[in-house]
Amino acid sequence: MKISMEDPNEDYCAVCLDGGEDVLICCDVCPKVFHLNCHLPTVKTVPKDEWQCLFCTTYESVLEKYPLEEGVEESEPEKGLSLRDFQLTCKFMCELYKVRESLTVRGFYERLFQQYMNQVPVTLTSIRKRLSLDPEAPDKFHSLKDVVWNLRKMLHQATVFYDVRFIIQFVFIILVVGVEGGVICRP
Ligand SMILES: [Zn+2]
Ligand SMILES: [Zn+2]
């Protein structure tokens, strides 16, 4: 067993909570570790230099790195999310993954849901998979409104499994972290 004093990193991916066989990359700033495909946004190759995950990057840093300037592309329904909106949405999703309540909507019940409800489940996992900048990516989000609409659908479906008090609590979490980053209420 690892002793935390020697290895400050966590043993399980912060998103899927699995240790698994696949490579886990460690953040150089916080203790979190991730599978390449689980981090938001996905990481294509194992970083060679110092690397900071988006979980411990602040909204402010994201906004500074992707400023809203004249000439910078905005999200458009035909093109999809702009680079700035994409990064902001990824950060927003990280904030949702951070809260304990998100454990219930990460998608662990996807198969069960499909089997019994005969509907395609919307979960944080399915939303994460649709976040892409690739022009060819099928089913990717085209606007922030689309993302928020899917969160609404996710919560609606979650009422099948969870108490309405849980849903209300999670709605407030979404509002707080969404408004903070300007995902729900554009600055
Ligand atoms: Zn993972
Ligand atoms: Zn980190």
Give 126-155 pLDDT, tens digit per residue: 999 999 988 888 889 988 889 989 999 998
Percentage, residues of the chain above pLDDT 70: 91
β strands within 14-66, DSSP E: 24-26, 33-35
Q: How confident is the model at residue 159 (pLDDT cuts 50, 70, 90)?
A: confident
Greatest mean pLDDT range, 28-42, 136-150, 162-176: 28-42
Q: What is the pLDDT of residue 185?
A: 66
Q: What is the pLDDT of residue 116?
A: 81
* Residue 73 pLDDT exceeds 90: no
Give yes or no for a contact between 142 and 77, defined as CB atoms under 8 angstroms apart: yes
C-alpha 40/C-alpha 27 separation (Å) is 13
Q: How confident is the model at residue 23 (pLDDT cuts 50, 70, 90)?
A: very high
Give yes or no for a contact between 107 and 121, defined as CB atoms under 8 angstroms apart: yes
* Residue 4 pLDDT exceeds 60: no
Distance 91 CA to ligand 1 centre (A): 16
Tokens describing residue 186: 């554009």
Does residue 139 belong to any structural domain of this protein? yes
User: What mean pLDDT is reported for the chain?
Assistant: 86
Total number of domains constituting the chain: 2
What ligand has the least distance to the C-alpha of 52?
A: 2
Q: What is the pLDDT of residue 39?
A: 96
Distance 95 CA to ligand 1 centre (A): 16
Q: Does residue 4 share a domain with residue 90?
A: no
Q: What is the pLDDT of residue 13?
A: 95
Distance 53 CA to ligand 2 centre (A): 4
Does residue 140 belong to any structural domain of this protein? yes
Does residue 147 belong to any structural domain of this protein? yes
Q: Does residue 112 share a domain with residue 25?
A: no
Q: Does residue 173 share a domain with residue 101?
A: yes
Distance 108 CA to ligand 1 centre (A): 13
Q: Which residue has the higher pLDDT, 116 or 49?
A: 49
What is the pTM for the complete model shown? 0.85
What ligand has the least distance to the C-alpha of 106?
A: 1
Does residue 10 belong to any structural domain of this protein? yes
Q: Residue 17 sits in a domain of what CATH number?
A: 3.30.40.10
Q: Does residue 95 share a domain with residue 176?
A: yes
Q: Residue 89 sits in a domain of what CATH number?
A: 1.20.920
Domain that holds residue 123: 81-180
Give yes or no for a contact between 172 and 109, defined as CB atoms under 8 angstroms apart: no
* Residue 5 pLDDT exceeds 90: no
Q: Does residue 172 share a domain with residue 106?
A: yes
Distance 163 CA to ligand 2 centre (A): 32
Q: Does residue 114 share a domain with residue 43?
A: no
Question: Which of 49-53, 120-124, 158-162, 183-187 has the least mean pLDDT?
Answer: 183-187
Percentage, residues of the chain above pLDDT 90: 42
